[in-house]
């Protein structure tokens, strides 16, 4: 890997890519390139060693079996832990979000997570499926979160992490809060291509990893229309 | 409405019982069959639909075992999988038709209500070919006792409610392993299908290709990665690998188990449909139909419930392509001509409420074509196309799309309810 380009790793697409997760990689690469930032993207499969020198790591959603397997392999590999200690940013979605915590449930069994976020997940009585909307933690300076959620988990955020948003429609972690963040790690139940509806989160990750205070604005008129439509749809339910 | 249909149906049915059903059926099944047919006819006459569901719904309310009663005495083939079911069912029904009358659910009504309607409507036929929703395959096997089950492919579809791909393959595998008498006709190119069929003693493998690999990177048996090269695939951790197919697509034709190549002339576009034809020939062969007998019938199939239909309007030749999930979008780009293309996306109940799958489709083949977008969820598509660097224009209606393109071919690619909306604009073209 060269040192000049922004390096983005998509973690284990062979295991955790059920819901258009590739979209987040495409969107980050697109938005970086549009600012003239050179980008290198890597898809690291579960039988490969996890590099520890990239700038942004993406981990997506998946079924129970692959989720448990991915967590085991990441713990054994250690590359993601080293990367985070060196200041890398992480965006974790759904099953990937759960496995960053201390523990989660897959196929009825409690599984060890990576412990990179202070949270733990268990199973809810019902599956949360539908539009999700929330007001993002003011310290992040972001507009409202919009997403589509589809998960059976309930997540309890500990003292060393903060909820990403306060839920205004949908379920998220527990009907009250949604997602979590700490340092440069973000996790959300807004599944799949979460950045398509939330380009400001994509830019936050780019700012974190480039050190830039601000980035040149892009034409987000289509994303804005999509956001307006989905925020209204979540409110209407 | 339903109550009214019911009352009318019972009245009419009482006079028409004798001629319509098998004499060996229980009385309740005869009543249910007759009511079912009448309700369907009334639904059509009232302009409420094509009658392919309501008749079966009422019939099954009267006799829960009606599908089993209607199936008995027929040689049944079920066609299931994520994509290509409707087309393959139509082609298979055409091929089996060489031997005699075939009952089939040709409108894509692929759950037990649709099967019941289709069988009730046709009266007694020696054969039935039924498109079967992949979630209902196990249940429909129990009810219809099929001679042949065709398994086409398994990939992600409607994820906000569908069972995950591996779980579906497991359900198929368990059910088929418990029915060794069923002849399975299965796609050798799809690891999930091969695994699902691997417990059956009588499998005929066909090769129709697999353009979409993202749901079968991991072996369902061992969890190890699956490798692919030169049309073969194999698990790196267990013996599961591509079986040797006895029906193979080659060039514009199909090689049969004897090694003879047959030219397949279809009015349906794309290599995908040659694959569907190969499957139909393989299923029909299980009933004793030879390719040379079936092929002329396949070449007469023009369109299926609007799919591939061509309509001329205002100097434009509009062709309708249905694409419901990532795998079928890739196929649609392959079938469509280099011509102005309208994409329409909805996310209503039958489509699945989630549009994430748009990011699993690479739209770059459209960069060289003028692209228009519309539908309830056009903005989701707009953001996707922007990142995919595909120029497009948003239109608010089908009419606006039509006015925006020059005379000549307009390709329309739409997902399920968007497709039905456009089909309604074109007077429910079949």
Percent share of chain A, pLDDT over 90: 88
Of A30, A130, A222, the CB nearest to B379: A222
Over residues B71-120, the pLDDT tens digits come to 999 999 999 998 889 999 999 999 999 999 999 997 778 889 899 989 98
Residues of A in contact with B354 (CB under 8 A): 19, 148, 150, 192
Size of interface A-B (CB pairs under 8 A): 78
Of B218, B353, B358, the CB nearest to A15: B218
> What pLDDT was estimated at residue B45?
56
The alpha carbon of A19 is separated from its chain's Cα centroid by a whole number of angstroms, namely 13
How many angstroms separate the CA atoms of B373 and B379, rounded? Answer: 9
Q: Give residue B65's pLDDT band: very low, low, confident or very high (50, 70, 90).
A: confident
Over residues B2-36, the pLDDT tens digits come to 444 445 444 444 444 434 445 577 877 887 787 77
Residues of B in contact with A30 (CB under 8 A): 387
Of A13, A22, A223, the CB nearest to B359: A22
Please identify which of the residues A102, A151, A156, A191 carries the catalytic annotation.
A191
Contact B38, B56 (CB under 8 A): no
Please identify which of the residues A81, A94, A111, A151 carries the catalytic annotation.
A94
**CA B274, B275, B280: angle at the middle one, nearest 5?**
95
Residue of chain B whose Cα is closest to the Cα of A196: B383
Q: Which residues are within 8 A (CB) of A15 and not within 5 positions of it... i.e. 6 or more apart? A: A46, A62, A66, A67, A69, A70, B218
Residues belonging to the binding site of A for substrate are 127
B156–A contact, CB cutoff 8 A: yes
How many angstroms separate the CA atoms of B234 and B225, rounded? Answer: 9
Outline where DSSP puts E strands in B141-276: 148-151, 183-187, 203-207, 226-229, 232-235, 247-250, 253-255, 261-263
Residues of B in contact with A21 (CB under 8 A): 359
Across chain B, what does the average pLDDT equal? 87
Contacts with A, B 214-273, CB within 8 Å: 214, 217-218, 223, 225
Report, in angstroms and rounded to the nearest whole number, the Rg of chain B calculated over CA atoms.
22
Contact A225 B382 (CB under 8 A): yes
- Determine the average pLDDT of the residues in B320-340: 89
> What pLDDT was estimated at residue A92?
98
Contact B354 A196 (CB under 8 A): no
Which CATH number is A6-236's, of 3.40.50.2000, 3.40.710.10, 1.10.10.10, 3.40.50.880?
Answer: 3.40.50.880
B353–A contact, CB cutoff 8 A: yes
> What pLDDT was estimated at residue B306?
80
* Statement: residue A171 has pLDDT above 50: yes
Q: Give residue A80's pLDDT band: very low, low, confident or very high (50, 70, 90).
A: very high
B315–A contact, CB cutoff 8 A: no
Contact A168, A212 (CB under 8 A): no
Contact A14 B225 (CB under 8 A): yes
Domain boundaries, chain A: 6-236
- What letter does residue B221 receive in the DSSP assignment? T
Residue B130 to residues A76, A194, B89, Cα–Cα distance (Å): 49, 39, 7
Q: Give residue A2's pLDDT band: very low, low, confident or very high (50, 70, 90).
A: very low
Contact A45 B225 (CB under 8 A): yes
**Range with the poorest average pLDDT among A78-92, A218-232, B156-170, B349-363:** B156-170
- Between B381 and A4, residue with greater pLDDT: B381
- Determine the average pLDDT of the residues in B214-223: 79
The distance of B148 to chain A (nearest Cα, Å) reads 31
Of A19, A45, A223, the CB nearest to B383: A223
Contact B379 A191 (CB under 8 A): no
Contact A222 B218 (CB under 8 A): no
> What pLDDT was estimated at residue B43?
65
Provide the token pair at B73: 């005495």
Contact A147, A132 (CB under 8 A): yes
Q: Which of A45, A95, A129, A196 is most worth mutating to test chain B (most B CB atoms within 10 A of its CB)? A: A196
The distance of A158 to chain B (nearest Cα, Å) reads 29
How many C-beta neighbours within 10 Å does residue A2 have?
A: 7
Q: Give residue B285's pLDDT band: very low, low, confident or very high (50, 70, 90).
A: very high
Q: Compute the half-sphere exposure of residue B154: CA atoms within 13 Å on the CB side of its CA.
A: 31
Residues of B in contact with A66 (CB under 8 A): 218
Contact B379 A229 (CB under 8 A): yes
B46–A contact, CB cutoff 8 A: no
Contact B384 A45 (CB under 8 A): no
> What pLDDT was estimated at residue B49?
59
Over residues A31-76, the pLDDT tens digits come to 999 999 999 999 999 989 999 999 999 999 988 888 999 999 999 9
Contact B354 A226 (CB under 8 A): no
Three-class DSSP category at B252: coil
B391–A contact, CB cutoff 8 A: no
- Determine the average pLDDT of the residues in B160-168: 66
The distance of A161 to chain B (nearest Cα, Å) reads 28
The distance of A159 to chain B (nearest Cα, Å) reads 32
> What pLDDT was estimated at residue B46?
57
Contact B322, B357 (CB under 8 A): no
Contact A14 B388 (CB under 8 A): no
- Determine the average pLDDT of the residues in B360-389: 97
Q: Which residues are within 8 A (CB) of B305 and not within 5 positions of it... i.e. 6 or more apart? A: B86, B106, B107, B108, B430
Residue A156 annotated to the active site: no
Residues of A in contact with B387 (CB under 8 A): 23, 26-27, 30, 196
* Backbone φ and ψ of A91, nearest 5°: -115, 120
Contacts with A, B 178-217, CB within 8 Å: 214, 217
* Statement: residue B214 has pLDDT above 90: no
- Determine the average pLDDT of the residues in B326-340: 89
Contact B159 A193 (CB under 8 A): no
Residues belonging to the binding site of A are 127
How many angstroms separate the CA atoms of A147 and A173, rounded? Answer: 13
> What pLDDT was estimated at residue B253?
94
Residues of A in contact with B356 (CB under 8 A): 19-20, 23, 148, 191-193
- Determine the average pLDDT of the residues in B184-191: 96
Over residues A91-125, the pLDDT tens digits come to 999 999 999 999 999 888 999 999 999 999 999 88
Contact B379 A226 (CB under 8 A): yes
B383–A contact, CB cutoff 8 A: yes
The distance of A160 to chain B (nearest Cα, Å) reads 31
How many angstroms separate the CA atoms of A122 and A106, rounded? Answer: 9
> What pLDDT was estimated at residue B160?
47
């Amino acid at each position: 890997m060269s040192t000049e380009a922004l390096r983005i790793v998509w973690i284990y697409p062979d295991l955790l890519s059920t819901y258009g997760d590739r979209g987040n990689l495409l969107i980050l690469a697109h938005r970086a390139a549009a600012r003239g930032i050179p980008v290198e993207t890597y898809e690291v499969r579960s039988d490969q060693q996890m590099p520890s020198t990239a700038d942004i790591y993406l981990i997506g959603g998946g079924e129970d079996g692959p989720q448990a397997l991915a967590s085991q392999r990441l713990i054994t590999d250690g590359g993601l832990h080293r990367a985070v200690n060196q200041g890398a940013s992480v965006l974790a979605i759904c099953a990937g979000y759960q496995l960053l915590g201390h523990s989660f449930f897959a196929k009825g069994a409690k599984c060890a997570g990576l412990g990179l976020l202070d949270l733990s997940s268990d199973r809810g009585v019902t599956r949360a499926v539908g539009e999700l909307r929330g007001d993002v933690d003011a310290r992040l300076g972001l507009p409202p979160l919009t997403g589509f959620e589809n998960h059976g988990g309930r997540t309890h955020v500990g003292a060393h992490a903060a909820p990403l948003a306060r839920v205004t429609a949908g379920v998220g972690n527990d009907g009250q809060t949604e997602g979590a963040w700490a340092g440069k790690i973000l996790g959300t139940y807004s599944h799949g291509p979460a950045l398509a509806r939330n380009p400001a989160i994509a830019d936050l990750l780019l700012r974190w990893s480039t050190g830039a205070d601000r980035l040149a604005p892009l034409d987000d008129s289509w994303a804005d229309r999509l956001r307006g439509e989905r925020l209204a749809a979540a409110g209407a339910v | 409405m339903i109550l009214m249909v019911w009352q009318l149906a019972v009245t009419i049915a009482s006079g028409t019982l004798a001629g319509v059903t098998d004499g060996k059926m229980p009385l309740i099944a005869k009543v249910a069959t007759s009511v079912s047919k009448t309700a369907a006819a009334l639904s059509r006459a009232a302009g409420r639909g094509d009658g392919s569901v309501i008749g079966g719904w009422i019939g099954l309310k009267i006799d829960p075992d009606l599908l089993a009663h209607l199936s008995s005495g027929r040689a049944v083939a079920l066609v299931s999988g994520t994509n290509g079911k409707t087309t393959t069912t139509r082609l298979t029904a055409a091929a089996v038709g060489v031997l005699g009358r075939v009952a089939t659910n040709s409108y894509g009504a692929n759950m037990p209500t649709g099967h019941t309607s289709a069988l009730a409507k046709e009266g007694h036929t020696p054969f039935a070919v039924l498109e079967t929703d992949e979630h209902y395959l196990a249940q429909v096997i129990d009810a219809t006792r099929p001679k042949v089950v065709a398994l086409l492919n398994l990939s992600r579809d409607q994820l906000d409610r569908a069972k995950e791909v591996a779980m579906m393959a497991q359900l198929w595998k368990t059910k088929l392993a418990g029915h060794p008498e069923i002849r399975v006709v299965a796609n050798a190119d799809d690891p999930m299908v091969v695994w699902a069929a691997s417990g059956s003693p009588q499998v005929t493998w066909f090769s129709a290709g697999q353009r979409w690999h993202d749901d079968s990177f991991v072996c369902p048996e061992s969890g190890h990665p699956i490798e692919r090269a030169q049309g073969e695939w194999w698990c790196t951790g267990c013996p599961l690998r591509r079986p040797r197919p006895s029906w193979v697509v080659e060039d514009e034709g199909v090689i049969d188990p004897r090694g003879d190549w047959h030219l397949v002339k279809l009015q349906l576009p794309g290599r995908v449909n040659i694959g569907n034809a190969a499957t139909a020939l393989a299923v029909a062969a299980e009933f004793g139909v030879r390719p040379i007998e079936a092929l002329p019938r396949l070449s007469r199939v023009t369109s299926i419930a609007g799919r591939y239909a061509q309509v001329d309007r205002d100097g434009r030749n509009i062709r309708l392509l249905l694409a419901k999930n990532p795998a079928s979008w890739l196929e649609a780009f392959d079938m469509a001509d280099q011509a102005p293309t309208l994409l329409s996306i909805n996310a209503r109940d039958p489509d699945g409420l989630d549009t994430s799958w748009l990011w699993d489709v690479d739209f770059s083949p459209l960069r060289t074509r003028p692209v228009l977008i519309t539908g309830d969820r056009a903005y989701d598509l707009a953001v996707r196309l922007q990142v995919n660097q595909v120029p497009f224009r948003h239109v608010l209606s089908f009419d606006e799309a039509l006015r925006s393109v020059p005379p000549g071919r307009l390709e329309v690619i739409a997902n399920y309810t968007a497709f039905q909306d456009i089909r309604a604009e074109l007077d429910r073209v079949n």
